[in-house]
Structure 1
Amino acid sequence: MNTDMNRLLLLLFLIGLGLLTTPAARAQGPGLGGPAPAATNVPLDGGASLLLAGGLALGLRRLRRK
C-alpha cells in the first residue's frame, strides 16, 4: 500500500513538473511588431501561495487517511 502512495505522489509530481515546463505555461511576448503593450504588474505572491499550500496540505492529509 505504501508503494502505491509513493507511485501516486511521484506521478503527481511529474505531471505538475511537466505542466510548469511546457511552452504554453510561459508568458507570451509582444505580437507581430508595433509598440509593446503596457506592463501589468500583478502580485501573485501572497494569496496564490497560501492557496497552493492549503491545497497541498489537504491532499496530503487525505492521502494519509487512506
Structure 2
Amino acid sequence: MKHLLTLILFFILITLPTILMAQPGLPGSPEQTPIDGGLGILAAAGGAYAIKKMRDKKE
C-alpha cells in the first residue's frame, strides 16, 4: 500500500505541473519584432531627461 501511495504521489507531482504550466510556443518568424537602436536611443534620452530634472531640482 505504501508503494502505491508513493507511485500515485510521484505521478501527481510529475504530471500536474506540466498540465497546469503549459504555455504556447513562440510565434513564427513574421510575427517577431526585432529590438534595435531605437529602444536604446529612447532609453538614453529618458536617462538624460531624468538627470537634467535632478540637476534642476538641486538648484
Instruction: Confirm or deny a common fold (TM above 0.5).
Output: no
Task: Specify the structure having the higher radius of gyration (Cα).
Answer: 2
Which has the larger helix fraction? Answer: 2
Q: TM-score range by the shorter chain?
A: 0.3 to 0.5
Q: Using structure 1 for the length normalisation, give the TM-score.
A: 0.41
Q: Using structure 2 for the length normalisation, give the TM-score.
A: 0.45
